[in-house]
Amino acid sequence: MTWIAVLKGLVVLACMAAGSACMERAVSRVLPQGRKPLQRIAPYALFFVVIEMPSWVGDENPLYLLPFFLAVICCCYEGTRLSRLVAALLFYILVIPVNMMVDTLWYWGMAFKGDDAVGIFLKAAVYLALWLLIRRLIPAGGAIQLPQRLWGTVGALCLAPLFGTLSYSIWNMRWRWTLSFDYDELTKPLAYTVLPFVFLSALALLYALTVFSRQERLEQEHQLANLREIYYQGVRQEQAQVRILRHDLRNHLTVVQGLMDQGDYEKVRGYLDQMAQSPALQGSRRICANETANVVLSSKRAVMESEGMEADFSVSLPEALSIPDPELCALLGNALDNAIEAVRKAEDKRITVRARADKGMLMLRVENPVGGTLKERKGCFETTKSDKSVHGFGITGMREIAERRGGTLDTLVRNGRFELIACVPLTGD
């Protein structure tokens, strides 16, 4: 019997390890994982404890586990504070109701005669199913991308399932000293009525996250596609103008030669000045080697030039960057949109952009004069536009992108100029 017990123990440990690995992988599909060794080990340890810890209906363990669960997820994964908190709550109400239902069957001897190995196997099987579902919903490298307001909405929707789960532990702490078996007989059937719906609610919220994130990504890609179309239309126009200039070059030379033969050098100078103003002889649209950055910056520079603004660009970005094109587009596009909006109200019309990729970091600085009075709220400058319901999310969205990738984005005002400084790690570059 000894070797059977050893074999059984090994199988139980294997189930616990597999279940914890499944849940760790599931969370990493929603949030980018931290890079430090402890940040990679701690989630495995957390879910290893979760799958083993008894959590029957009315037990206090789910309540005691909550702060540790939130702390590990928030500290070991990247993203904004709100996104990490909401993801932690979401996975808590996914996992704990399953544990409570399975462990209650074990505790009361209703299903597998108090054999906790069967309970651990069942929990590991559910965790595996959750991992397979999340892997299907969220592709590898496609962590959830949402504005803060949507993360907040999902977090608020998590509260009802959360308190529905914790209520059994809270009320049992009130009744535990009465030795009331009537209370247990009442809560068990009630729990098996409520907890499945808590689990389904968590699944529905997880699916909603993926839908919202997919929509957000499509909007970013649509914005980038529009900028690309504008950029390539300009390129085609320039090419057409170059062909026209080349075709007419013989005629231009004939005119210049005739004016010189007449000794009318002032007219020659004026004619050459007119030719120099031709768009075909203007500078190239290519600002840097990266195609996405080039498209965005060229499009914004065209807007600035059309409105009489001075574009001071110094950008050195390689052809390939690990940051996705829609996110790079959002960073550069929103930064320049804000700068252009501010310069419209300022006397100084110069916008300075400095960007480069060096030593595994994308560094971006955008500087523009302050147009009007800026008000700061919760670490962010408020929009100066009249309709605040549809504006003011640009800097917040850029900060989300930077923080989600383990970087920073800071804003400050000095010497009458607004500065936006972003540093974003580039994995693999």
Average pLDDT over residues 9-20: 88
- For residue 232, report the phi and psi dihedrals to the nearest 5 degrees: -75, -25
pLDDT of 210 > 80? The answer is: yes
CA–CA dist 404, 413 (Å, integer):
25
With pLDDT > 70 as the criterion, what percentage of the chain qualifies?
A: 78
Average pLDDT over residues 58-66: 87
**Residue limits of CATH 3.30.565.10 in the chain:** 285-429
Of the candidate ranges 6-20, 184-198, 256-270, the one whose mean pLDDT is the lowest = 256-270
pLDDT of 402 > 80? The answer is: yes
CA–CA dist 231, 370 (Å, integer):
28
CA–CA dist 94, 50 (Å, integer):
12
Task: Give the closest residue to 349 by CA, choosing from 291, 395, 411, 303.
Answer: 303
Which run of H or E residues covers position 361?
strand 361-369
Look at residue 371 in the predicted model and tell me its pLDDT.
66
Task: Give the closest residue to 285 by CA, choosing from 305, 266, 265.
Answer: 305
Residue type, 196: P
Residue type, 222: H
Residues 6+ apart with CB under 8 A from 55: 61, 62, 65, 96, 99, 100, 103
Look at residue 156 in the predicted model and tell me its pLDDT.
93
- Judged by phi (left if over 0) then psi (alpha if -120 to 50, else beta), residue 357 lies in beta
Average pLDDT over residues 408-417: 87
- Residue written as token pair 């702390």: 71
Contact indicator for 429, 411 with CB cutoff of 8 Å: no
Contact indicator for 176, 249 with CB cutoff of 8 Å: no
Average pLDDT over residues 174-182: 49
**Considering just the CA atoms, what is the radius of gyration of the chain in Å?**
30
CA–CA dist 326, 171 (Å, integer):
48
CA distances from 82 to 79, 93, 154, 205, 229 (A): 8, 17, 10, 16, 35
Question: For 165-223, what is the HEC assignment?
Answer: HHHHHHHHHHHHHHCCHHHHHHHHHHHHHHHHHHHHHHHHHHHHHHHHHHHHHHHHHHH
Q: Which residue has the higher pLDDT, 265 or 401?
A: 401
- The DSSP output letter for 133 is H
Tell me the angle at which helices 291-306 and 181-261 cross, rounded to the nearest 10 degrees. 60
Look at residue 391 in the predicted model and tell me its pLDDT.
41
Of the candidate ranges 112-116, 254-258, 266-270, 338-342, the one whose mean pLDDT is the lowest = 112-116
Query: What is the tens place of the pLDDT at every residue in 93-131?
Result: 999 999 988 888 766 555 445 457 888 888 999 999 999
222's tokens: 């649509």
pLDDT of 403 > 70? The answer is: yes
Contact indicator for 369, 417 with CB cutoff of 8 Å: yes
Number of H helices, E strands in the chain: 11, 7
Average pLDDT over residues 204-218: 87
Query: What is the tens place of the pLDDT at every residue in 67-83?
Result: 999 999 999 998 888 88
Q: Quickly list H helices, 262-280.
A: 265-276
pLDDT confidence bin for 178, thresholds 50/70/90: very low
Average pLDDT over residues 295-301: 85
pLDDT of 193 > 70? The answer is: yes
Contact indicator for 298, 285 with CB cutoff of 8 Å: yes
pLDDT confidence bin for 243, thresholds 50/70/90: low
Indicate the pairing of strand 361-369 with strand 417-425. Answer: antiparallel
| pTM of the full structure | 0.68
| Greatest mean pLDDT range, 182-196, 244-258, 354-368 | 354-368
Look at residue 179 in the predicted model and tell me its pLDDT.
45
pLDDT confidence bin for 177, thresholds 50/70/90: very low
CA–CA dist 131, 47 (Å, integer):
13
- For residue 391, report the phi and psi dihedrals to the nearest 5 degrees: -130, 170
With pLDDT > 90 as the criterion, what percentage of the chain qualifies?
A: 24
Look at residue 232 in the predicted model and tell me its pLDDT.
66
pLDDT of 277 > 80? The answer is: no
- The DSSP output letter for 279 is G
* Residues facing 173 on adjacent strands: none
Look at residue 386 in the predicted model and tell me its pLDDT.
47
Of the candidate ranges 24-33, 160-169, 266-275, 312-321, the one whose mean pLDDT is the lowest = 266-275
pLDDT confidence bin for 222, thresholds 50/70/90: confident
pLDDT confidence bin for 280, thresholds 50/70/90: low
35's tokens: 């890079």
Look at residue 278 in the predicted model and tell me its pLDDT.
62
Query: What is the tens place of the pLDDT at every residue in 373-396?
Result: 555 555 555 555 544 433 444 687
CATH number of 285-429: 3.30.565.10
Q: Which residue has the higher pLDDT, 422 or 251?
A: 422
